[in-house]
Amino acid sequence: MEAEQPLPPQQKLRERIVFAVDIGPDGAAKMGPLSSRLLAARQLIKKFIQLKSWMSTSHEYAILTFSATTFWHCEFGKQPDELYRIVDEISLSDHEVTYFDMQSLFEAMQEIDFFRQNKFCAFDSLYVVSLWLYIRAPLSPPIVPYRGQASIFTALTYQHDKVADDNKVQDVFDFLNEIDEEKGYCLETRLFKRMNKFMILLLAHGQQRAPHQPAEAFLL
């Protein structure tokens, strides 16, 4: 898949969109005056599905959740009302989390036959997008470094604490930014308003978004 090859605006490709949602304990931290990070993520996922479904009813959505490892929360579906209910069921893990096995996330996605076929190209009738909502801040970067797959457009949003001596926010961001350097986005913030803008940006097909700009050396 050539990231630099533009997609003709008149061509609407059906997308399979996988939300990968962090359910570690940091999801309880505040993001905005009335919301935790996880509640903000749930709200924005539902808004994303609503707006994307208005664009085309052919898109499909699935949800993965991860804490120490990754689990399927919902396989692919198209009905917004049912998806909203499932999104509202996402809850934080009750277990203490000290690491994240990122390999498990990609292995979960590889269970789908479409990923195994690896026949995607710029003008296929199906395009796979993986949107990560990564929340944790104090932990070290995920174990098992893993590069993005050629057949999947990966975009990451990183909700984090203020950078401090007692957390590893910068290290985690640097790691996440390397996952899909060529065509993926790595978007970070502590503010709900910016997260809202990020999700609106990600509504666009991966090949119709502005080229990815290399990240700055430090978090904003």
Tens-place pLDDT, residues 163-190: 888 788 888 888 887 776 666 788 888 8
Tens-place pLDDT, residues 89-145: 999 988 777 777 888 887 787 776 555 455 444 444 456 778 888 887 777 666 665
Burial bucket for residue 23 (CB in 10 Å: 0-12, 13-18, 19+): buried
Q: Write out the H or E segment, with its range, that includes residue 14.
A: strand 14-22
Residue 195, CB half-sphere, CA atoms under 13 Å: how many?
27
- The whole-angstrom separation of Cα 38 and Cα 174 is 22
Locus of tokens 């990815």: 212
pTM to 2 decimals? 0.82
Structure tokens at 6: 């533009």
